[in-house]
Chain A
């Protein structure tokens, strides 16, 4: 999870990732940042994120993103 926060902070600083629960709905992460985040996730965690998983509820908080990564790992 620390690695994930590190990636997020590099992509979009000035957001309190520990507490923020509306990263997409609150427009902290725009479409382009999400694309960059997915690339980093795929490179760092060895999972493939299908387009169908790119929905706000999967990216609204660090916890949710981490759950998505774990789920994709299991499915693979």
Chain B
């Protein structure tokens, strides 16, 4: 069951809403937990045991860390400062041990289900090169749904408790629900405990407003998925499936369509996710903020899959930058080359860790690793050359705030993003490089229009895609300019409001890509 499944939107969700409103307030969080576990069990069956193990491990570890802090406070009350320091250090080490062991315990599940085969094949390759006659047997394992998302949430809770940013929760229900809440379990957003812990247990009754706003958001997500993403999928499948048969321009179009498809599918899922939570008065953070208006790759990643970017920033980038090892190396560079170079080195080392993990998080495969390092290189080049670009612009009297200059930067960023997504989508590195090679070296307009129309989409399909993209673009543009479209619609009178809703519903029904000839997109991020 995906979030776009009719069973989820028109059966599962409404039943949960009805039950939620008829039971006492105290029992509502329990209902959400039962619904979440049923949702998980429906998809992953017995693998639910791993979700429960992760939840219990972080619950008890957090309480243990709290207990360690309490004992420490009791012990140091009457001590002198030097003794205090020794005792503090002792308990800090103990706390750190609990943190590290629990993180490793949770990461072991992730490694087992997601990376065992990948690293196994690397080891087999090395054994083969060394002519050692042994190879590990590789088995395809079915991972618990959303393991990459809930494991990151588990780690964030533990680290926040360790750092004293969040108090360890005494409520088991709260921790269980935090990790399994059905709208976010499959594809995020990766949520911090502090931002949802209170609202999860509040059990506020749903209202006409919360249901209307929630379903309005869900409908918009369905529009993005059914009208645009599902329509483009057939074209993308054919071009990526057999790239040698197609011309360079068609391949470029395939890569552009995949980028649009990915955005519509993932941001559409986030609309369903955030809308579902909104119905229960639980506010989730936005995961996208008009990413295609970004002027460089760094900005793009602060607008695309925001929750993953923030997680990596908070739990990898800054801790790595501030680590003793990196500081030592930075100090050495500072002495030799000055502050600016030293900061670049410090940031680059942390970014290397971030993008290695970002690539691998998306999947256990070389295309994902290269996808990560591709972005790392672009960001590093951007950091290194930005001061020079600013100087050149000043000399040439180019106003960097000029609209046309900004537009050129946005186009440049979009092109770089499309190349990245091509690598991301390609079934192998040889296909990715083969496609890129063909796109950049064999440009030809010959037979382009007839070739485009032979890939599963007719003129009407293209017109619908353009119309759909324009609708999404206008909404994004208005939001970007600070004009909240949803608020504006909700302020209109009932006739105008429902005219919008009906237009959206009719759009989904009449323009959705259903039936033979189309290939619905599987939930892309759920596989991560």
Q: How far is the CB of A48 from chain B (nearest CB, A)?
A: 9
Least CB separation from B159: chain A residue = A52
A36/B343 contact (C-beta < 8 A), A31-B313, A52-B163 known: yes
Bound-state CA distance A51–B334 (Å) is 20
Bound-state CA distance A54–B346 (Å) is 15
Bound-state CA distance A7–B342 (Å) is 16
Question: Does B210 make an interface contact (CB < 8 A)?
Answer: no
What residues of B have a CB within 8 angstroms of the CB of A36 in the complex? 339-340, 343
Question: Does A5 make an interface contact (CB < 8 A)?
Answer: no
Question: Does A35 make an interface contact (CB < 8 A)?
Answer: yes
Question: Does B298 make an interface contact (CB < 8 A)?
Answer: yes
What residues of B have a CB within 8 angstroms of the CB of A27 in the complex? 299, 302
Count of B interface residues, CB-CB < 8 Å: 24
Question: Does B239 make an interface contact (CB < 8 A)?
Answer: no
Question: Does B383 make an interface contact (CB < 8 A)?
Answer: yes
What residues of B have a CB within 8 angstroms of the CB of A32 in the complex? 343-344, 347, 383
Question: Does B172 make an interface contact (CB < 8 A)?
Answer: no
Bound-state CA distance A38–B319 (Å) is 13
Interface residues of A in 1-56 (CB under 8 A from B): 27, 30-32, 35-36, 38-40, 49-52, 54-55
Bound-state CA distance A54–B321 (Å) is 11
Question: Does B122 make an interface contact (CB < 8 A)?
Answer: no
Q: How far is the CB of A28 from chain B (nearest CB, A)?
A: 13
A51/B319 contact (C-beta < 8 A), A31-B313, A32-B383, A39-B330 known: yes
Question: Does B317 make an interface contact (CB < 8 A)?
Answer: yes
Within the complex, which residue of B163, B298, B321, B346 is in contact with A30, where a contact is CB–CB below 8 Å? B298
- Across the interface, do B322 and A49 meet the contact criterion of CB distance under 8 Å? yes
What residues of B have a CB within 8 angstroms of the CB of A51 in the complex? 318-319, 321-322
A54/B322 contact (C-beta < 8 A), A35-B347, A36-B343, A39-B339 known: yes
- Across the interface, do B343 and A35 meet the contact criterion of CB distance under 8 Å? yes
Bound-state CA distance A31–B347 (Å) is 8
Least CB separation from B354: chain A residue = A31
What residues of A have a CB within 8 angstroms of the CB of B314 in the complex? 55
- Chain A interface helix/strand/loop/mixed: helix
A35/B165 contact (C-beta < 8 A), A50-B322, A54-B318, A54-B322 known: no
Q: How far is the CB of A32 from chain B (nearest CB, A)?
A: 5
Q: How far is the CB of A42 from chain B (nearest CB, A)?
A: 9
Least CB separation from B319: chain A residue = A51
- Across the interface, do B165 and A52 meet the contact criterion of CB distance under 8 Å? yes
Q: How far is the CB of A29 from chain B (nearest CB, A)?
A: 13
- Across the interface, do A39 and B343 meet the contact criterion of CB distance under 8 Å? yes
- Across the interface, do B339 and A35 meet the contact criterion of CB distance under 8 Å? no
Bound-state CA distance A39–B345 (Å) is 12
What residues of B have a CB within 8 angstroms of the CB of A40 in the complex? 339
- Across the interface, do A35 and B346 meet the contact criterion of CB distance under 8 Å? yes
Bound-state CA distance A40–B302 (Å) is 25
A35/B321 contact (C-beta < 8 A), A52-B163, A52-B165 known: yes
Q: How far is the CB of B325 from chain A (nearest CB, A)?
A: 13
Least CB separation from A49: chain B residue = B322
Least CB separation from A32: chain B residue = B347
Bound-state CA distance A32–B298 (Å) is 11
A39/B346 contact (C-beta < 8 A), A30-B298, A31-B317, A32-B383 known: yes
| Cβ proximity bits B295-327 to A, threshold 8 Å, 1 near / 0 not | 000110010000000000110011101100000
Interface residues of B in 42-94 (CB under 8 A from A): none
Chain B residues near A (Cβ < 8 Å): 163-165, 298-299, 302, 313-314, 317-319, 321-322, 330, 334, 339-340, 342-344, 346-347, 350, 383
Interchain Cβ contacts under 8 Å between A and B, 22 examples: A27-B302, A30-B298, A31-B347, A32-B344, A32-B383, A35-B321, A35-B343, A35-B350, A36-B343, A38-B322, A39-B330, A39-B334, A39-B342, A39-B343, A40-B339, A51-B319, A51-B322, A52-B163, A52-B164, A52-B165, A54-B318, A55-B314
